[in-house]
Amino acid sequence: MTLKRSPLLTFLLAAVLLVGTLVSVSGLVATRFFQQAILERESQLVNELASSLLAEPAEGEAPLTAGFLDKQLHHLLALDDILRINVFSAEKYLLWSSESDIIGRRARNDAPLGRALSGEVVPVTQPFQRASHRDWNPKADVMEVYVPIRSAGDSQPLGAMGIYRDAGQINQTLTRGAMLIWGSAGLVGVLLIAIITTLHGMLLHRHRAALASLGSLDEKHRRIVQLEKMSALGKMVGEVAHQVNSPLVGVVNKAQLAARRLDDPERIRGYLRDIEAAGKHCAEFVKRLLDLSRVSRFEKESVDLKRVVQEAVQLVSQGSGLGGVIALALPAHEARVDADPVLLRHALFNLLRNATAASPADESVTVSLFFSATQHCWCIDVEDQGPGVPESLREQIFQPFFTTSRDGNGLGLAVASTVATLHGGTLEVMDGDEGGALFRLAIEASPTAVGPRS
């Protein structure tokens, strides 16, 4: 069976492990340091005491004679916690001892004694664990301190003294100190874990709150898009219904009138002409709607843009008889792109028809085709001499069914802009040099095109 751990549990385990290690290491170091400090202080006290007693023999007295040592050290031995005192010569022979039967023995291989003879103060906490002390086993906790013995002015020790003390009190201090250190380290550890866990909890909470608010934003956005789609659809259906309904109402009215005037063929002919006109209007509107749906068929091929522009101009001229005032500015070099020529021609046709409609009859519309190296695209500018497009309308005019003209349907720019997008480009409106409107249809150049060949 595998145990599944929650992220919080894993985090807690890691935190406890990390903090535990940290606390243990710092506790150990602090305890060691504390023990060392206490032992050093105790040893120095013993050292000072020994130097004051042994350093200055009376005038003419040898420093380490039995008589001098007896006289000086019995004060020390009178102290409660001093258990035994040994005085060694520089050659490690026992010159004097509180246990008189061992005087004259040579110390066994004893490193702390060696260090004291070379001038160090050496505390030994567990002296009875050493082979040299197996013959004496007092019940109490014992600590031994070796101190060098120097005569005044002499730097080299004459000998060394080993003092055995009852270590009960020192050990108590050490135990209390260690308990205090470990207690505080544990407390700090628990506090640290609590702080880390709280911080982690807070972060987790914020993260979840951020995720939740992102989720609700997403949901809001989805609803707004859906609403927009529905309202666009509603607008479109309303527009279609309106465009078809008005002529249909006319048709029904005229048909009813005609039925009442069966005796008047002239009137009936008039009504029939109106009915025919309304039918044609409907047919024209449906044809334009079909144009719009045609945009969804998109087939690319290698296209000569100069030709597409010329064909679109021709189409507009045939329709409006305005061909004479459309001025063309085409590049001398080849302008070839991968595009759908039918859609491009249709988009350009829409722009040209708007431009010729906006321009006064005697002013010309200019169409220029050029390559923009900075944007790596082909641009077709259609500039007219009309009133231009006011700033406030510059976004709306691209929306389907937006029109300011009485017999417009508001689809021309919507279609042209979709065609631009299909070709990886844009359709923008700006001010022309001569105050009219300038529509720029930009389409993506093929990736390999590094610019027109001249």
Ligand X SMILES: Nc1ncnc2c1ncn2[C@@H]1O[C@H](COP(=O)(O)OP(=O)(O)O)[C@@H](O)[C@H]1O
Binding footprint of Mg ion on the chain (CB under 5 A): 354, 412
CA distance readout (Å), 309 to 44, 264, 341, 380, 398: 107, 53, 10, 8, 21
Q: In what order do the strands lie in the sheet with 159-166?
A: 94-97, 82-89, 159-166, 142-149, 122-124
Task: Confirm or reject binding of residue 143 to ligand X (CB under 6 A).
Answer: no
Cβ closest to ligand X, residue 127 vs residue 412: 412
Any alpha helices (H) in 131-167, and if so which ranges?
Answer: none
Q: How many helices (H) and strands (E) does the chain have?
A: 8, 12
Q: Is 386 among the residues that bind ligand X (CB under 6 A)?
A: yes
Strands 377-383 and 437-444: antiparallel
| C-alpha angle 261-262-267 in degrees, rounded to nearest 5 | 55
3-state DSSP percent of the chain in helix, strand and coil, to 5? 55, 15, 30
The three-point CA angle 87-93-99 to 5° equals 50
CB nearer Mg ion, residue 31 or residue 356: 356
Residue type, 281: H
By CB under 6 A, the count of residues binding ligand X is 20
Please say which residue, 258 or 415, places its beta carbon nearer to Mg ion. 415
Q: Which stretch binds ligand X (CB under 6 A): 66-74, 94-102, 354-362, 441-449?
A: 354-362
Span from 165-173, 233-241, 244-252, 398-406 in contact with ligand X (CB under 6 A): 398-406
For Mg ion, the closer CB: 4 or 287: 287
Among positions 358, 380, 419, 449, the unique one binding ligand X when judged by CB under 6 A? 358
Establish if 243 lies at the interface with ligand X (CB under 6 A): no
Candidates 114, 186, 270, 408; binder of ligand X (CB under 6 A) is 408
User: What single-letter DSSP state applies at residue 368?
Assistant: E
Give the whole-angstrom CA distance, residue 86 versus residue 164. Answer: 9
What is the Cα–Cα distance from 22 to 191, expressed in whole angstroms?
A: 13
Instruction: Work out how close the CB of 440 gets to Mg ion at its nearest, in angstroms, rounded to a whole number.
Output: 17
Q: Can residue 410 be called a binding residue for ligand X (CB under 6 A)?
A: yes
| β-bridge partners, 159 | 89, 149
Query: Taking contact as CB under 6 A, which single stretch among the options 185-193, 212-220, 351-359, 441-449 is the one that binds ligand X?
Result: 351-359
Residue among 110 and 384 whose Cβ is closer to ligand X: 384
Looking at beta carbons only, is 243 or 409 nearer to ligand X? 409
Q: Determine the interface stretch with ligand X among 103-111, 209-217, 367-375, 406-414 (rule: CB under 6 A).
A: 406-414
Strands 437-444 and 426-431: antiparallel
Pick one of ligand X, Mg ion, none as the site partner of residue 63 (Cβ within 5 to 8 A by kind): none
Minimum gap (Å) between residue 378 Cβ and ligand X: 21
State whether residue 187 is helix, strand or coil: helix
Spatial contact of 323 and 362, defined as CB atoms under 8 Å apart: no
Query: Which listed option, Mg ion, ligand X, none, makes contact with residue 438 (CB within 5 to 8 Å by class)?
Result: none
- Name the DSSP letter for residue 93: B
Q: Is 364 in the site for ligand X (CB under 6 A)?
A: no
Q: How far is the CB of 347 from ligand X (least distance, A)?
A: 11
CB of 344 to ligand X, least distance (A): 16
CB closer to Mg ion out of 74 and 288: 288
Q: How far apart are CA 272 and CA 254, in angstroms?
A: 8
- Rounded Cα gap, residues 239 and 408, in angstroms: 12
Using the rule CB under 6 A, is 98 a contact of ligand X?
Answer: no
Of 48-56, 120-128, 349-357, 442-450, the segment contacting ligand X by CB under 6 A is 349-357
Which of Mg ion, ligand X, none has residue 384 at its interface (CB below 5 to 8 Å by kind)? ligand X
Site mask for ligand X (CB under 6 A), range 163-192, x = bound: ------------------------------
Residue 270 interacts with which of Mg ion, ligand X, none, CB < 5 to 8 Å by class: none
Closest residue to Mg ion, based on beta-carbon distance: 412
Of 167, 181, 355, 420, which lies in the binding site for ligand X, with binding defined by CB under 6 A?
355
DSSP 224-262: HHHHHHHHHHHHHHHHHHHHHHHHHHHHHHHHHHHHHTT
Going from the C-alpha of 157 to that of each of 87, 104, 164, the distances in angstroms are 12, 19, 20
If the CB atoms of residues 54 and 427 are measured against ligand X, the closer one turns out to be 427
C-alpha span between 156 and 106 (Å, rounded)? 20
Shortest Cβ 286–ligand X spacing (Å): 15
Q: Contact letters (x/-) for ligand X, 420-449, by CB under 6 A?
A: -----------------x------------
Q: How far apart are CA 148 and CA 116, in angstroms?
A: 5
Residues lying near ligand X in the complex (CB under 6 A): 350, 354-355, 358, 384, 386, 389, 397, 402-405, 408-414, 437
